[in-house]
Amino acid sequence: MIWKESYKFITSQILEVMNNINNESINKAKEIILESQKIFVYGAGRSGIIGKAFAMRLVQLGLVAYFIGETITPIVTDHDSVIIISNTGNTKSSVLVAEISKNVGAKIIAITSNPNSEISKISNLQILLGPISHNSLAPLGTVFEDATLIFLDSFVAELMESLKQTEEDLRKRHAIWV
């Protein structure tokens, strides 16, 4: 069955991507985030859905986080960080968010599979999730998007340790437990 072949391909690609992430970039990302007054997350399309999930976890960690484009999102300042998720790193809206964020002096973290992308050039830090293999078993940005979700969920555990937060602490900030 094709779905079995597909999940085997997707998970093998994700493992390869995850094993190639630079640990120093993780430490630098953690430093930038923990020094920020507010953390903003942005991504277009499916990258945006993953970004919203990450922003939610940041709030559950007790941090002040927003997803750019929501009606209640405040302005970005030079005391903030902006995390931009883009497979190609050249999505016009992502590049625009990076340019505006840079102009106000915010720290920019690019999560992309393209080390030569526009957002990579603009950002203070690049977290490279690649190289990515494409085929019909994982159409369009599937491997990047799935790898990004797994990476960011794993990164939450890193932040939890630094902030000395437990799962119970996060649960207390989880909407369904209020």
- Per-residue model confidence (pLDDT) at position 147: 95
- Per-residue model confidence (pLDDT) at position 74: 95
Q: What is the DSSP code (8-state) at residue 134?
A: -
pLDDT tens track for 144-154: 999 999 999 99
The active-site residue out of 5, 99, 145, 158 is 145
Domain segments of the chain as ranges: 22-172
Determine how β-strand 81-85 pairs with β-strand 39-43.
Answer: parallel
CATH of region 22-172? 3.40.50.10490
pLDDT tens track for 17-46: 999 999 999 999 999 999 999 999 999 999
pLDDT tens track for 61-78: 999 999 999 999 999 999
Residue whose entry in the numeric block shows the structure tokens 């992430």: 21
Distance, in Å, from the CA atom of 153 to the CA atom of 148, rounded to the nearest integer, reads 8
pTM comes to 0.94
Work out the angle at residue 133's Cα, subtended by the Cα atoms of residues 56 and 125, and round it to the nearest 5 degrees.
Answer: 50
Give the percent of the chain with pLDDT over 90. Answer: 83
For the question of residue 145 being annotated catalytic, the response is: yes
